[in-house]
Chains A and B, each alone.
Chain A
């Protein structure tokens, strides 16, 4: 079954074509990577998937529904971590988890979520006192507390130090093994290559290449996804 089907998606802001005819599908249970440099249209694409932005053109189906029309119903089944979203500094970890659990008809047990993502020792810590990695761990847990079928993670590791980044990779690996469909947006080629079953390489609002990381690397005759990107863009480093 397809969890997500995007056909010829278009969205512009004034005369910027942020997303300029993007097509891809994500199977249920797949970890799908959207990778590309800043301004490539990644966030705009996932915000259309989440029903936060109305596309100018194309069709979108998430779990068989149109996110622009059925955002509320879909929100019960989708979890999201948005680029640069934060919580009030004085809210405590345990309070945030309990609060977000109250939003859903059939949430996961927030205590288990807290335990599973190693947040229990931080339960009484205020959001403002968490490190960058701990904040992202909480945001990931909040994306999962509704027990979603599809999880969208936009720049989960941006701004984290290398240790916290690797730790976050491990968490996404766990999530993947649990069978959840994951859309992982990143401007890091290495993490996309390491974590994703299928990747769409974005540039200037279009998909430059799509397939498994190995396929894209083999097709371009390069050694890594990052090199593949530069080969596709016709530039050398």
Chain B
């Protein structure tokens, strides 16, 4: 437990020192909010976007670098399992998503006078599920791709279209029919649905169930495919 706490604190520190991570989880969503003149309807989508940028935009490259630079192998020579580092990375990404989301929601309320989310516990649960889900996908990408650059690139290439087509960056209503249908099959879509419902007051059971299913399937796949060196 002592080791896991120390690893998690370290992972959070490293994330907070990465200017790109900091910008995309903290500043960029705020900029979008300002561009929308504080309109609160797209905010739940932005929360899903914050999670996706961390779990799929950043995590695959970080984890692949830990393998490529033999950090995982070095840990395997200590009493601590390298799996603990991956767990710490997951906790750090979820924490960062919660922090970025809290900042965004607070800004919407305090600066733009938005109404507070109607069901905060459901919103928090939906956000955690959404964040863990994108991290699970990020681990699958890190498992499949051999090197750091490839993993980082594929993470971005999957993440960007997904945040648009799943309705995280722009509402799906605004998309042409054909593109909107693709969104039905994307794993981030139930994340956006769960967050949007919670914001409006309902704990949407079905999207959360789908998110949980993707987490289980993604973790199983990543575990099966992951190479430690």
Interface residues of A (CB under 8 A from B): 50, 52, 71-72, 75-76, 78-80, 82, 84-88, 90-91, 95, 98-100, 102-105, 146
Q: B227 near A: Cβ within 8 Å?
A: no
Chain B residues with a Cβ closer than 8 Å to the other chain, count: 22
Residues of chain B with a CB closer than 8 A to A102's CB: 2-3, 5-6
A103 pairs with B79, CB closer than 8 A: yes
Docked CA distance A222–B76 (Å): 41
Closest chain B CB from A20 CB (angstroms): 22
State the CA gap A164–B79 with chains docked (Å): 30
User: Do A95 and B70 touch across chains, with their CB atoms under 8 A apart?
Assistant: no
Is chain A's interface secondary structure helix, strand, loop, or mixed overall? Answer: loop
- Report B-chain residues with C-beta under 8 Å of the C-beta of A76: 79
CA distance A50 to B78 in the complex (A): 10
B16's nearest neighbour on chain A, judged by CB, is: A90
Q: Which residue of A is nearest B75, CB measured?
A: A103
- The number of A-B residue pairs with CB atoms under 8 Å apart is 61
A75 x B70 contact (CB < 8 A): no
- In angstroms, Cα B160 to Cα A124, docked, is 36
A52 cross-chain contacts in B, Cβ below 8 A: 73, 76-77
* Residue B18 interfacial (CB < 8 Å): yes
Which of the residues B2, B74, B78 comes within 8 Å of A146, measured between beta carbons? B78
Tell me which of A80, A103, A104, A146 has the highest count of chain B C-beta atoms within 10 A of its own C-beta. Answer: A103
B157 within 8 A of A: no
Q: List 12 extra interface pairs beyond A80-B77, A90-B13, A95-B10, CB under 8 A.
A: A52-B73, A52-B76, A75-B78, A78-B77, A79-B77, A82-B70, A85-B70, A88-B65, A91-B13, A95-B13, A102-B3, A103-B78
